[in-house]
Amino acid sequence: MPQSLMATYKRLDVTFTKGEGTWLWDKAGKRYLDAISGIAVCSLGHAHPAVTRALCEQASTLVHTSNIYGIENQQRLGDALTAISGMERVFFSNSGAEANEAAIKLARLHGHHNNIKDPAIIVMQNSFHGRTLATLTATGNRRVQAGFEPLVKGFIRVPYGDIEAIQALAQSSQNIAAVLVEPVQGEGGINIPPGGYLGTIRKLCDDNNWLMMLDEIQTGMGRTGAWFAWQHENAKPDVMTIAKALGNGVPIGACLARGEAAELFAPGSHGSTFGGNPLVCAAALAVIDTMTTEEIPAKAAALGSYLVTGLAAELEGIDAVSEIRHAGCLVGIQLDRPCTELVGMALDQGLLINVTAESVIRLLPPLNMSSEDADTLVQGLSRLIREFTDN
């Protein structure tokens, strides 16, 4: 790999030069079935014609002005996002971590408005919220934090899925301003909380005047079978962050808020040079338009069930497969052993998968994947798992 790049990534030995739908091609012309979508980013597949068209048209008209001027596409995208989410106002960033930074700042403003001197945010074990200093502190993974101390103050951690731990904090702590949680933990291993978890957090936030802040960066934009995962339980947050699939590959994130939280930022309190520029907003508008007309959230629910039913049938009887967990097209196959090796084995076979939390095979396929491609994925992956586990 080139020496001119900082060594932040342990890269696989492959470079792609072309993508179309669910497929990628490498420099040698070898074709790969993409079951990871650039980690939940290209949910409409690669080079989606509507997104490509929107980008080309916008690039030939106006790419960037500045947030010191009005930006028509940003306004239109704000309207589209508030319409599909029922949230009220949007701040645009360039990444997921920055969207979470905005949420963290809102929590601190909320705390100070309520006379809390050192406001704290409840966060979860095994969570992932990003790599900036505040978001890596919020992240519940020591490997992400190690070496970057001193960490940021103002986070209290509890086990994911444990309502009683949050209730106990409501009794014992006076300085809490917000709860920040993923509806399903993605990087943490496709961890699905007990039913009613988000609804109970909603109630605790109401009872204690905390902001309920959902990180939907991986779960959002249709991935779990609804536009946003909280919609399955109708547990509407005060603040929600999204990124990843919002631009189908163009870097854009957003922090959405409603009620009092939507009024906390004032001119000068937050900003971003590139955030929500005409080009990225054109792409995101095309994404929302396409996802709406093609009913992508419903398709994601159906595709997720189809994949998991197929996998369950193919993997039946393999003791090393302890569990298959999924929320729509966010799929985790839990093995009883570390299985990072499978990523390279799959690559050799022309299949792109991911392993997270060491022993969880993670699938994040494009949400509009055809049933033929889904069958190819199920067959190919099941064969590999059998080989890997000697079955």
Ligand X SMILES: Cc1ncc(COP(=O)(O)O)c(C=O)c1O
Summarize as ranges the residues that interact with ligand X (CB under 6 A).
95-97, 100, 128-130, 182, 186-187, 215, 217-218, 243
- The helix, strand and coil proportions of the chain, stated in percent and rounded to the nearest 5, come to 40, 20, 40
Complex with ligand X: residue 99 or 315, whichever CB lies closer: 99
Residue nearest to ligand X (CB): 96
Complex with ligand X: residue 245 or 342, whichever CB lies closer: 245
| Shortest spacing between CB 243 and ligand X, in angstroms | 5
| Shortest spacing between CB 96 and ligand X, in angstroms | 2
User: How far is residue 252 from each of residues 82, 193, 277, 285, measured CA to CA in Å?
Assistant: 16, 28, 9, 11
Complex with ligand X: residue 137 or 382, whichever CB lies closer: 137
| Shortest spacing between CB 129 and ligand X, in angstroms | 5
| Shortest spacing between CB 386 and ligand X, in angstroms | 29
Complex with ligand X: residue 218 or 248, whichever CB lies closer: 218
Taken in order 261, 267, 269, 274, is the CA torsion positive or negative?
positive
d(CA 179, CA 162): 13
Q: Are 208 and 170 in contact (CB under 8 A)?
A: yes
d(CA 191, CA 373): 26
d(CA 334, CA 256): 33
Complex with ligand X: residue 73 or 241, whichever CB lies closer: 241
Complex with ligand X: residue 245 or 374, whichever CB lies closer: 245
Length of the chain: 391
Complex with ligand X: residue 183 or 310, whichever CB lies closer: 183
| Shortest spacing between CB 135 and ligand X, in angstroms | 7
Residues 6+ apart with CB under 8 A from 255: 90, 91, 93, 99, 100, 102, 103, 106, 239, 240, 241
What 3-state DSSP class applies to 125?
coil
| Shortest spacing between CB 255 and ligand X, in angstroms | 12
* Residue 333, beta-bridge partner list: 324, 361
User: How far is residue 154 from each of residues 119, 137, 138, 211, 389, measured CA to CA in Å?
Assistant: 6, 9, 9, 15, 44
Complex with ligand X: residue 218 or 382, whichever CB lies closer: 218
What 3-state DSSP class applies to 334?
strand
d(CA 316, CA 343): 21
| Shortest spacing between CB 30 and ligand X, in angstroms | 27
Residue 342: alpha-carbon gap to chain centroid: 23
| Shortest spacing between CB 312 and ligand X, in angstroms | 25
